[in-house]
Structure 1
């Protein structure tokens, strides 16, 4: 466990997630509840339907802005803590954990304390990211959207599409 903690400490990638989980690594690995679903991992990592990720990493958005409020940068932290569009979805987490969290480390600490807290965070991740994914699909399908946003034909990678253009 110590070796794993040391290796995570020297990691240059996924610092948002590593910084939050590393101090509680023993608790994380010994927990008796909670599976890691696709959307929960997206919420923990920031890799998903977040404007910043879609703009900077995936190259699928012209800007990192939030499509659900006026914020200029839609990050996982914005979605999880600040975006007014998800206020109702955040309420069950606050009710169960008694936490008005402002960091992922605080969230991790709380969801490791009870199965109910883990379930509330899991349900938040599922609801919010499903909604964000559906909105992204609508933008992709819109013939008026920017070419980089439009849905690609099945089986074609972005690089191949760019080479042919």
Structure 2
């Protein structure tokens, strides 16, 4: 990348690579029951979907659009964020906000699954 500012961080890397708490990625490793977005019917929850289309993140995307001075797009994202330090910082903030929410959702999903497994185990124990 030919840029003069900014460092790549954990959250930005996840958005750029698609390796993170995106259901498409988690499902590939059998860490999620489905690859589909819970908010957008029949749409795989990929990094691209989350970053540029998913209605759950429309407020965050609107803030990024304001900084980019146009709606963010998958095709121009890297070019836009590398153009100025302000846009770089906006992209980092966007990525951190989105990935943090997805991580929290994933943690809650795992906690709910553990709770369901415990209940099932308790139901299967013989009564004394």
Q: Decide whether the 8 Å contact of 2:61 with 2:72 is kept in 1.
A: no
Structure 2 unmatched ranges of 5 or more:
118-128
1:63 aligned residue (23, 27, 34): 34
Q: TM-score, normalised by structure 2?
A: 0.82
Counterpart of 2:48 in structure 1 is 77
Structure 1 residue 62: Cα displacement:
1.6
Which structure has more RCO (C-alpha within 8 Å, separation ≥ 6)?
2
CA deviation profile, 1:4-33 (whole Å, cap 9, x unmatched): xxxxxxxxxxxxxxxxxxxxx3x1xxx222
Query: What is the TM-score with the length of structure 1 in the denominator?
Result: 0.65
Structure 2 distance, partners of 1:71, 1:80, is 17
Query: Residues 23-102 of structure 1: matches in 2 within 5 Å?
Result: 25=1, 27=2, 31-56=3-28, 58-102=29-73
Which residue in the other structure is 1:113 paired with? 83
Deviations 1:126-157 (A, max 9, x none): 01110110110011011227xxxxxxxxxxxx
CA distance in 1, matches of 2:92, 2:79: 14
CA–CA separation in structure 1 for the residues paired with 2:65 and 2:42: 22
Map of 1:125-140 to 2, 5 A cutoff? 125-140=95-110
Cα distance in 1 for partners of 2:38, 2:107 equals 13
Residues 72-98 of structure 1: CA distance to partner in whole angstroms, max 9, x if unpaired?
310111001100010000112111111
Task: Please report the RMSD computed on the Cα atoms of aligned residues, expressed in angstroms.
Answer: 1.5
**1:112 aligned counterpart, secondary structure:** helix
- Where in structure 1 are there 5+ consecutive unaligned residues? 1-24, 146-165
